[in-house]
Amino acid sequence: MWKILCGIVVLVTILVNQLAEARGVRRRRGLTLQLDNYLSYDGIMQYLDELALSHSSRVTLKDVGRTYENRALKMAMITNGDGRPGKRVIFLDAALHSREWMTPAAALLTIHKLVVEFAENSDLLTDYDWHIMPLANPDGYEYSRNTERYWRNTRTPNGGNCFGTNLNRNFAVDWNVGFPELKDPCDENYAGSSPFSEVEARTVRDIMHSLVESKRAVMYLSLHTANRSVFYPWVYDTAPVSNQKEHDEIGRFVADRIFRSTGTFIKTWQYAKYAGTFGGTSMDYALVAGFPLSFVFEMSGTGRDHVEYKFFPPARDIRHLAEESWTGIKAFAEKTIEKYPPSRVISYSPKVKLPENGAPRNWGFSSMAGTVCLCFIYLTN
């Protein structure tokens, strides 16, 4: 048994040394984000893993859930490395709707800007941390990429050869209220068998509640395409939110920054007054969970040739559109930090509580991996 363990330790030692050497090379050369094509799920996970290795003092990668098809839901937790606990947090997710391929690209570029290009963006991390889920619906994303391009939902079976739930209809704010398609298990608007029936929605929900309970939550920002809009709550009701002027001011600031940078016109709306009311959205839920600010950023899908490609801009336009989206995301952050400095007291008053059915997580190592790690630490110190 000890011979086997020692053999494993030797192999691990070799692997760790190789990883350390590779990490040193990446640090010297800088980690490159590939935006010449749409990355696969594996490509996105590989980039995140490499980033966490090469910049371990400023980014921690959390495996926060597992999908129906057993893909990891990962969140990058980004700091400036100063070790100051309890900073306020901007929470960003992407690809709740799987066919919106540009959103993971923009989320990854945001991570890259905050971590690899930290020197140019350090002001965004002085008093705030960022928590980013760049791929919130990996099962649907891979199905959209490989099988049915316009697929929007998860891949959980609904019976009767119908699959998938619309994650942005699965949150517990007026769930299943609005129009008949929400109840149709074969429709792309299907709201699910119950609120938070989907592990992906439960995972986002649990992160929201954790941030509110720790009094760190400030802004929730969900990336979508391709309506060229900044939306704020409510979706389920036409009544204004209590800080509507603040939401509107931030939205207009973002729109103005993008227009000045690229000439793209971005609309700013309370969603219900733009497209009518319905329930179950993550944006509305973030606000009732206790976030002071909650937005959807509907990014552009228009190429440099002025053609509207909506969900699937050609590969040549990915970097341009991701950079444009970063301009908007950075503006969201700058205005949020200005409006909510550490000196401003936030009174958290969530209107909903975290239910018992939390998302399954994999926070630790297996016992064998732990044993090997301990052996390695012992032998190398």
pLDDT digits (tens, 9 = 90+) for 167-226: 999 999 999 999 999 999 999 999 999 999 999 999 999 999 999 999 999 999 999 999
- What sections of the chain are H helices per DSSP? 2-29, 41-54, 102-115, 118-121, 138-146, 199-213, 244-262, 271-275, 282-289, 318-339, 367-380
CA dihedral (64, 66, 71, 76) in degrees, to 10, reads -10
Average pLDDT over every residue of 314-328 = 98
Q: Which of 130-134, 141-145, 351-355 has the lowest mean pLDDT?
A: 351-355
Selecting among 298, 323, 334, 338, the annotated active-site residue is 298
Residue 242 has pLDDT above 90, yes or no: yes
pLDDT, residue 372, reads: 31
CATH code: domain of residue 164: 3.40.630.10
Average pLDDT over every residue of 128-151 = 98
298 labelled catalytic: yes
Q: Which of 51-60, 250-259, 313-322, 355-364 has the lowest mean pLDDT?
A: 355-364
Residue 149 has pLDDT above 80, yes or no: yes
Whether residue 53 is contained in a domain is answered as: yes
Residue 39 has pLDDT above 60, yes or no: yes
pLDDT, residue 223, reads: 98
Residue 380 has pLDDT above 60, yes or no: no
Residue 311 has pLDDT above 80, yes or no: yes
Residue 376 has pLDDT above 70, yes or no: no
Cβ partners under 8 Å of residue 233, min gap 6: 241, 247, 270, 271, 283, 284, 287, 294
Backbone angles phi, psi at 171, to 5 degrees: -90, 155
Q: Which of 33-42, 72-81, 348-357 has the lowest mean pLDDT?
A: 348-357
Asked if 48 and 74 count as a contact pair (C-beta separation under 8 A), the reply is yes
pLDDT, residue 355, reads: 67
Asked if 303 and 264 count as a contact pair (C-beta separation under 8 A), the reply is no
Listing DSSP states for 354-381 in one string gives --S-PPP---S--HHHHHHHHHHHHHH-
Residue 96: which domain range?
A: 36-339
Average pLDDT over every residue of 267-291 = 96
Crossing angle of helices 102-115 and 41-54, rounded to 10° = 10
The Cα–Cα gap between 291 and 208 comes to: 8
pLDDT, residue 368, reads: 33
Strand pairing class (72-78; 59-66): antiparallel
Q: Which two tokens stand for residue 48?
A: 């995140």
pLDDT tens digit sequence for 132-142: 999 999 999 99
What is the number of other CB atoms lying within 10 angstroms of the CB of residue 119? 6
Q: Which two tokens stand for residue 97?
A: 């709707």
The Cα–Cα gap between 244 and 329 comes to: 19
pLDDT, residue 2, reads: 53
The total number of structural domains in the chain stands at 1
The Cα–Cα gap between 286 and 215 comes to: 14
Average pLDDT over every residue of 348-356 = 80
Residue 22 binned pLDDT confidence (cut-offs 50, 70, 90): very low
Whether residue 75 is contained in a domain is answered as: yes
Cis amide prior to 286 (ω within 30 degrees): no
The Cα–Cα gap between 27 and 340 comes to: 34
Q: Which of 94-108, 302-316, 345-359 has the lowest mean pLDDT?
A: 345-359
Mean pLDDT value across the chain:
89
Whether residue 324 is contained in a domain is answered as: yes
Cα 158 versus chain centre, distance: 26
Whether residue 371 is contained in a domain is answered as: no
Asked if 103 and 138 count as a contact pair (C-beta separation under 8 A), the reply is no
Backbone angles phi, psi at 131, to 5 degrees: -115, 120
Whether residue 377 is contained in a domain is answered as: no
Bridge partners of residue 231, in order along the sequence: 269, 296
Residue 361 has pLDDT above 60, yes or no: no
pLDDT tens digit sequence for 101-128: 999 999 999 999 999 999 999 999 999 9
pLDDT, residue 356, reads: 63
The Cα–Cα gap between 78 and 81 comes to: 8
Bridge partners of residue 63, in order along the sequence: 74
Whether residue 365 is contained in a domain is answered as: no
How many angstroms separate the Cα of 76 from the Cα of each of 56, 59, 64, 87, 110?
11, 6, 10, 15, 11
The Cα–Cα gap between 219 and 332 comes to: 9
pLDDT, residue 30, reads: 65
**Which comes out higher in pLDDT, residue 371 or 130?**
130
pLDDT, residue 16, reads: 43
